[in-house]
């Protein structure tokens, strides 16, 4: 069994992973401010998990201290097989799996590794949800229109409709929200 506080993160694993695709990374919602406790409870159940912790300097009137806070509020990542999902849900403090199209959303192992590497290099990291709104200027980050910029003219669920002016014609593209980034206005 391996329990470590690796680069400011609670991480647990007790299994030797084989070349099977049955084990996947998932995110679970936790009760508010229960991230560390859920990670420890999952560890006690022998469930491989990762709770990214951010090194943050806190100030009080009489002192300053670096504390470890969860990077993602109310989230813990678990590396489980489909058979172990029920065991995860029965853990105190776990509310549900994060879902995509009604199924637990699979997190790519490269994304987990990227989070680990990022936290190893940087302290006091901030996570921001950027809300895309009508008339925002955005840059497409993926797909055949990658790196093109346009204005948001409509929003439909998880997609945005972007006006892309080129060749003096109006070209509209429906693009998944995850594939656009807001372009900051220069004053």
- 155 half-sphere exposure, CB direction, 13 A CA radius: 13
Where exactly are the structural domains of the chain?
A: 2-121, 137-182
Give residue-wise pLDDT tens across range 57-104: 888 899 999 889 998 899 999 999 999 999 999 999 999 999 887 899
This prediction has a pTM of: 0.64
List phi, psi (to 5°) of 177.
Answer: -55, -35
Beta bridge partners of 68: 55
The CATH superfamily of 2-121 is: NusG, N-terminal domain (3.30.70.940)
Give residue-wise pLDDT tens across range 19-47: 456 899 999 999 999 999 999 999 999 99
Question: Other C-beta atoms within 10 Å of 69: how many?
Answer: 17
CA 45: distance to chain centroid? 23
């Amino acid at each position: 069994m391996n329990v470590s506080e690796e680069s400011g993160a609670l991480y647990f694993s007790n299994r030797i992973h084989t070349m099977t695709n049955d084990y996947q990374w998932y995110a679970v919602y936790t009760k508010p401010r229960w991230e560390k406790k859920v990670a420890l409870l999952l560890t006690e159940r022998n469930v491989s998990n990762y709770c990214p912790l951010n090194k943050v300097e806190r100030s009080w009137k009489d002192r300053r201290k670096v504390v470890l806070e969860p990077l993602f509020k109310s989230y813990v990542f678990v590396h489980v097989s489909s058979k172990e999902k029920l065991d995860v849900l029965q853990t105190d403090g776990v509310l549900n799996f994060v879902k995509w199209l009604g199924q637990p959303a699979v997190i790519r192992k490269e994304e987990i590794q990227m989070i680990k590497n990022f936290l190893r290099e940087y302290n006091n990291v901030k996570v921001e949800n950027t809300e895309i709104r009508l008339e925002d200027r955005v840059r497409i980050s993926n797909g055949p229109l990658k790196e093109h910029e346009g204005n948001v003219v409509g929003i439909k669920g998880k997609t945005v409709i972007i006006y892309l002016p080129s060749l003096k014609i109006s070209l509209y593209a429906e693009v998944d929200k995850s594939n656009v980034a807001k372009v900051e206005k220069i004053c």
